[in-house]
Copies of this chain bind each other. A is one copy, B any other.
Amino acid sequence: MKITSRFTIAVHTLLAIYVLGNKYKMTSDFIASSVNVNPVVIRRTLSSLKAAGIIDVKAGSGGALPAKDAEDITLYDIYTAVDCVDGDLFNFHENPNPECPVGKNIHAVLDSHLSDAQAALENELKSVTLADLTEQLNI
């Protein structure tokens, strides 16, 4: 069970746009050749990032452009933009038996801890910005 590669593809895509966008026209074909996936996969990624207000995409003429400062984009923003996780990260078995003292209380006992764990993950993602990554790239 892994978090979809849409996430790392989206990060890669944004890095390309923010770092190479002044030199090249960032078309889905161009980005696809860097990420090494089908251009349609990149178009879907661009579509999600655009919907999240992170980039602008020019239909027709082509090319993706930054819509926000790299300092203002966290990994968490990207993670939510591409829908890595739908709500709760942990799947819970449905309909535990309410006649059983354990089944009746399992949610009360466990939910908060699962939320805490998920929050810890997401907070870590919130602590890293795209600008942090572009700096490390040194291009």
A residues near B, CB below 8 A?
A: 1-5, 7-9, 11-12, 15-16, 19-20, 33-37, 75, 84-86, 88-97, 100-103, 105-106, 108-110, 113-114, 116-118, 120-125, 128, 133, 136-137, 139
Smallest CB separation, A31 vs chain B (Å) = 9
> Across the interface, do A8 and B85 meet the contact criterion of CB distance under 8 Å?
no
> Across the interface, do A110 and B36 meet the contact criterion of CB distance under 8 Å?
no
Residues of B within 8 A of A33 (CB): 97, 100
Residue in B closest to A128 when the chains form the complex, CB atoms: B113
| Given A2-B90, A16-B102, A91-B5, A117-B110 contact (CB < 8 Å) | no
As for how many copies of this chain the complex holds, the number is: 2
How far is it, in angstroms, between the C-alpha of A125 and the C-alpha of B110 when the chains are bound?
A: 11
> Across the interface, do B34 and A96 meet the contact criterion of CB distance under 8 Å?
yes
> Across the interface, do A91 and B2 meet the contact criterion of CB distance under 8 Å?
yes
Smallest CB separation, A97 vs chain B (Å) = 5
How far is it, in angstroms, between the C-alpha of A108 and the C-alpha of B110 when the chains are bound?
A: 36
Residues of B within 8 A of A84 (CB): 1
> Across the interface, do B109 and A137 meet the contact criterion of CB distance under 8 Å?
yes
